[in-house]
Amino acid sequence: ALAIEDIFRRAGFPANLFRTLMIGNKRVDAVIEHPLVRAVTVTGSGAAGRAVAAKAGAMLKKTVLELGGSDPYLILEDADLELAARICAKGRLVNSGQSCIAAKRFIVVEAVRAKFEPLFVEKMKAARMGDPFDDQTEIGPQARTDLRDALHAQVEASLAKGARCLLGGKIPEGRGAYYPATVLTDVRPGMPAYEEELFGPVAAVIPVKSETEAIAVANDSVFGLGGAVITRDLARGERIAADLIESGCVFVNESVRSDARLPFGGVKESGYGRELSSYGIREFVNVKTVYVA
C-alpha cells in the first residue's frame, strides 16, 4: 500500500490524492465519519465487514465488502485427475492457504475418489514448507500463532467427528507459526472442515455420489466467493459454473484467481459489490441525470 502511494506521488498526481493510513481498528470509525469520505470498501472477515457496513450505513455511505470464502472445487467423474490434483493443490496453497479465494472444499464424485485422493496427497506433500523469503518455498508461516492454533483446533475437531487425515495435521516443532499441508477426507456436515472457512493449508475432501449432489454440497455454505469445476466436458462445466453454483465467480479447469480485467466479489456472507474491471470502477461513482429542455 505504501508502494502504491509512492507510485502516485512519483507519477505527478496531486499531493494526497492517494493516501495510505497506517491505523488500527479503533481509528476506522473516525475515517468513515469524515465528510470527505464518500464510500467505503473492506477486505476481511465477516465480523469486520459487518462492523464497517454498520458504521457506513449509519453515515449513509456506500460500501463494497469482500469477505471470507470457502470455495468449492467440484471434481467430476470425467475429470482429468492428474490435472485436477495439480489445480486443487495450487488453489489450496496460494499464500500458504491464507486467501479468501483459496480452494477450501474438494467435492469429489465417488467414482474417481480412490484415484484422485492419492494424486492430490502427492501434490500437497510435495509442496515445500520453509522460509517465506526463499524463492523455493511454497508454504510459509501463518500470519499469527493464534490463527495457526485456531486452524489446528478446527482440524482436530473435524477428526474427532469422524474425518480422516491423509496428510499433515500436526503442528511442527520449532519457531514460527507454521502449519503443514494437510488433507482431510470423509468430511461431512457438522464438522468445522465442512461448515467453516479453513484459513490455512488444510484441504477438506467431501465425497459425493453424483453431479447433482456435488452441486448441492457446493451451495451448502454461508459463503459464495469463488469456485471451480473440473471436467473434460467444457459445455458441462460452463453450464454448472454459470447456472448452478452460487458464487461470485466460477472457473472451469483452473484455480480461482482475481484478474484486473474481470469483476471480482462474492454473494451471501462473502459480501457484496464488485472490485476490478469497469464494474469495480462503477461501484464508486454516482450516475447523474442532466435534462435540458
Whether 100 is catalytic: yes
Point out the catalytic residue in the list 5, 33, 66, 238.
66
For residue 129, the one-letter residue type is M
- The H or E element that residue 182 is part of is strand 182-185
188's grid cell? 461431512
In which residue are the cell numbers 453454483 written? Answer: 245
* Nearest Cα residue to 206 out of 195, 269, 67, 231: 195
Torsion sign (Cα): 249, 253, 255, 261: negative
User: Taking the CA of residue 200 as centre, how many other CA atoms within 13 Å lie in the half-sphere pointing to its CB?
Assistant: 30
Total length of the chain? 293
Residue 14 DSSP class: P
Question: How far is the C-alpha of 222 from the C-alpha of 227, rounded, in Å?
Answer: 14
- Identify the active-site residue in 88, 100, 246, 249: 100
Alpha-carbon span 66 to 280, nearest angstrom? 12
Is 66 a catalytic site residue? Answer: yes
C-alpha cell at 199: 484459513
Cell 497506517, residue? 22
- Helix, strand, coil tally for the chain in percent (to 5): 40, 15, 45
Catalytic positions, please? 66, 100
